[in-house]
Amino acid sequence: MKILAIETSCDETAISIIESKGKIKSPKFTILSNIVSSQVAIHKEFGGVVPNLAEREHQKSLVPILMTALKQAKLFKKKRHALKKEDSTLRNILSREQELLKRMKEVFPLEVPLIDRIAVTHGPGLEPALWVGINFAKALSYLWNIPIVPMNHMEGHIFTALIKEDGKNAKKFSIEKIRFPIVALLVSGGHTEIVLMKNIGKYTIIGETIDDAAGEAFDKVAKMLNLGYPGGPAISKLADSGDASAIPFPRPMIKKNSYDFSFSGLKTAVLYYLRDHTSYKKRDVAASFQQAVVDVLTAKTMRALKAHKAKILALGGGVAANALLRKTLQDALPRRVKLLLPKISLTGDNALMIAVASYFKKKPTPAKMITARGNAKISD
Ligand code: KG4
Ligand code: ZN
């Protein structure tokens, strides 16, 4: 089976094509293409992602990325003739994506590539951004007559941890031997949640942030320290040379008996600290803040692992790139629990994770039923 996946939930435009072979339950995958085009440079000057700019950039980038992906996957077939101008169905599908329509008309129709399904992120994320990917998927589905499988973005992040690379060939991988239940700690710019996974496709959110996401806190504190956007990588780099015990920032809700998080108070504590101290070492602030976030994430996750007798801890999301978090989780892990960490290059948003997760979905969804769901939950 060949899968084409599209991911446009935030500020990365991503397309991946994978091929699966072998047994249905223990497939071997080959990455035929995996392209991520980041818009960070565009959003940087605004200090965060601007939804309308993201929407516009996705419209501009999707067609050239698709063409490159098809070529890399050797699925590119020649353009045959000009797209009929009167194709009103296509015009309807892309009525709100005029820029994307224009770019599609420049290259389509292409001969139908040998692809079995199109996977597309339908949420959670920024709705204007999600819609571009969804309508692109619908347009391709219409032109090529290939079914669509709508995917949850957070489920994709879980699968980055479940990928087991073939030691010899970086393009080949399988899925880790999974023993349930799995507890997944998902930490990104928009979400922070602990998910109990009883099987593939069976998810319960047992804890989540009641205000800011962990990545969001990193981004906001980085802004206060003038470290630019996105803040996570900048803070963790600076923290390397700082003293994590220099400032006793609060560990919000660490003692509370729920698996929920709160990071907005911590962010405010940093703000007050900077306001009330005329001289401070940025690196100590970064290190102490990072330690506070990691301590809370680790404490709650360990409690969840024990309470649910988890066999595996899977880490996912942009903040999964954080070296201190990776190490602290490993050090705190109960015996007999296996920690699965994603490859650093797959921690940020990408379409490969959407492709892999979609392999396990049985049925496609009729295009008409697919909508952007900004607040979609992994448990839906
Ligand atoms: O999953 P992701 O790429 O996008 C969303 O779906 O939100 O996550 C992006 C978030 C940003 O907030 C970024 O600052 C954070 O991940 N991040 C990090 C690190 N690298 C990225 N946070 C802490 N340490 C890092 N090394
Ligand atoms: Zn994400």
Per-residue model confidence as pLDDT tens digits over 182-216: 999 999 999 999 999 999 999 999 999 999 999 99
Q: Of 42-51, 97-106, 321-330, which range is least confident? A: 42-51
> How much distance in Å is there from the Cα of 215 to the middle of ligand 1?
5
The amino acid present at 153, given as its one-letter code, is H
Report whether pLDDT(79) > 80.
no
Neighbouring C-beta atoms of residue 226, cutoff 10 Å: 8
CA distance 187 to 320: 7
Of 230 and 73, the one with more pLDDT: 73
Mutate to test the pocket of ligand 1, among 36, 218, 322, 329 (most ligand atoms within 8 A of CB): 218
Ligand 1 within 6 A of CB of 109: no
Cα 87 to ligand 2 centre (Å): 35
**Does ligand 1 come within 6 angstroms of the Cβ of 316?**
no
Residue 322 Cβ < 6 Å to ligand 1: yes
Q: Ligand 2 centroid vs 83 CA: distance in angstroms?
A: 35
For residue 128 and ligand 1, the question of a CB distance below 6 A is answered with no
The better pLDDT of the pair 180, 78 is held by 180
Ligand 1: which residue has its CA nearest to atom 3? 348
Q: Check pocket membership of 156 for ligand 1, CB cut-off 6 A.
A: no
Ligand 1 atom closest to Cα of 349? 3
Establish whether residue 123 lines the binding site of ligand 1, counting it when its CB lies within 6 angstroms of any ligand atom: no
pLDDT of residue 268 exceeding 90, the answer is yes
Report the side by side order of strands in the sheet with 182-187. 202-208, 192-199, 182-187, 312-316, 338-340
Instruction: Give residue 153 CA to ligand 2 midpoint distance, Å.
Output: 6
Q: Residue 232 Cα, ligand 1 centroid: separation in angstroms? A: 6
Ligand 1 lined by 215 (C-beta under 6 Å): yes
Q: Is residue 354 scored above 90 in pLDDT?
A: yes
pLDDT at residue 16 is higher than 80? yes
What type of residue sits at position 66?
Answer: L
Cβ of 232 closer than 6 Å to ligand 1, yes or no, is yes
For the beta carbon of residue 81, count every other beta carbon within 10 angstroms. 6
- The 10s digit of each residue's pLDDT in 291-326 is 999 999 999 999 999 999 999 999 999 999 999 999
Lowest-pLDDT range of 84-93, 130-139, 189-198: 84-93
Check whether 260 has a pLDDT greater than 70.
yes
Residue 139 confidence class, pLDDT cut points 50, 70, 90: very high
Name every residue whose Cβ is closer than 8 Å to that of residue 243 and which is 6 or more positions away in sequence: 281, 283, 284, 287, 288
Helices (H) and strands (E) in the chain, counts: 12, 12
| Model confidence at 108: pLDDT above 90 | no
Tell me if 233 CB under 6 Å of ligand 1. yes
Map tokens 């709160």 to a residue. 262
Spatial distance between the Cα atoms of 235 and 288, rounded to a whole number of angstroms = 10
- pLDDT score recorded for residue 111: 86
Residue 24 has pLDDT above 90, yes or no: no
What pLDDT, on a 0 to 100 scale, did the predictor assign at position 110?
86
Structure tokens at 243: 């003293």
